[in-house]
A = this chain, B = another copy of it.
Amino acid sequence: MDIRKLEDLLRKVKSGKTSLDEAISQLKSLPFEDLGFTRIDHHRSLRKGFPEVIWGEGKTTTQIISIMKQLKGKGQNILITRLEERKAEAIKRVFPKSRYAPRSKVLIYLTHSVKFEGKGTILVITAGTTDIPVAEEAAITAQIMGNRVETLFDVGVAGIHRLLNERQRLEAARVLIVVAGMEGALPSVVGGLVDRPVIAVPTSVGYGTSFGGITALLAMLNSCASGVAVVNIDNGFGAGYIASLINRM
């Protein structure tokens, strides 16, 4: 609750400009509405200039379209993650300007153009080619949140010269997102090469004892390089989001 707004309100109560009931009602009415199945918080996106994000998994096409309509009415940009192709196609029929990236299962719908608010470049790096879907989710998230994004794919540590060849790009980035499965070693090497924050994203790529990304996650949490923080397995969106917060600073 904002102290200045409270002060303002109390002043109006005192002066009689605002009735008691109205004051209580105002204090209670925070700006979100009830769609029956989900509460959308415009408050946040209005405040931040951020898109509204919808987690596509487990929602029906009908539910998603209903939310999108309401958000469009508010003039919001929309980012939908983990959206199956089948649903994306149905949505495109209603919102033809939607853009869907099948590899990362992300759909975006812009009601207004994205304003560049990031101060530098966010570089999204992957260890292998199978990590690309997660990296793309991160990249699209960062783009719709107003950042210049570059990518550098398939530079895993078993061929370390591939990474070292790109040191200039590494050093030019302001924030780095490093996406890796299997042994998850890439963030440690990258973290040792740059002076910028590294957001590490473990992926569920691998087999046997990769345990669906747990090995990569653990390796990243135990990185011997400083300057590395970690998000959940396959959480490209989360990485893109926090990288965007940092790049605005």
Alpha-carbon separation in the docked complex, A156 to B185 (Å): 11
CB contact between A233 and one of B119, B209, B227 (< 8 Å): that residue: B209
Please judge, given known A-B contacts A20-B11, A197-B246, whether A217 and B224 are in contact too, CB under 8 Å.
Answer: no
Is residue A242 contacting chain B, with contact meaning CB distance below 8 A? yes
Residue A38 at the chain B interface, CB threshold 8 Å: yes
Residue A159 interfacial (CB < 8 Å): yes
How distant is A210 from chain B, measured CB to nearest CB, in Å? 5
| A222 in contact with B232 (CB, 8 Å) | yes
Residue in contact with A208 in the complex, picked from B28, B197, B219, B235, CB distance below 8 Å = B235
Q: Does A76 have its Cβ within 8 Å of any Cβ on chain B? A: no
Nearest 6 interchain pairs by C-beta: A208-B233, A185-B185, A229-B229, A158-B192, A158-B225, A183-B219
Given contacts A157-B157, A207-B234, A210-B232, 9 further A-B contacts (CB under 8 A): A3-B168, A47-B195, A183-B222, A183-B224, A184-B185, A207-B233, A207-B235, A209-B221, A214-B218
Q: Which of B28, B189, B205, B228 contacts A242 (CB 8 A)?
A: B228
B249 and A119: CB pair below 8 A? yes
Query: Is there an interface contact between A192 and B32, defined as CB atoms closer than 8 Å?
Result: no
Q: Which residue of B lies closest to A167 (CB)?
A: B1
Identify the closest chain B residue to A174 (Cβ).
Answer: B249
A130 contacts the other chain (CB 8 A): yes
Complex interface bits, A32-49 against B, C-beta within 8 A gives 1, otherwise 0: 100001110100100110
A189's partner among B157, B227, B232 (CB-CB below 8 A) is B157
CA distance A23 to B199 in the complex (A): 35
Q: Tell whether A94 is near chain B: CB-to-CB under 8 Å.
A: no
Cβ B165 vs Cβ A197 within 8 A: no
Q: Which residues 44-61 of A sit at the B interface, judged by CB distance below 8 A?
A: 44, 47-48, 53, 55, 57-59
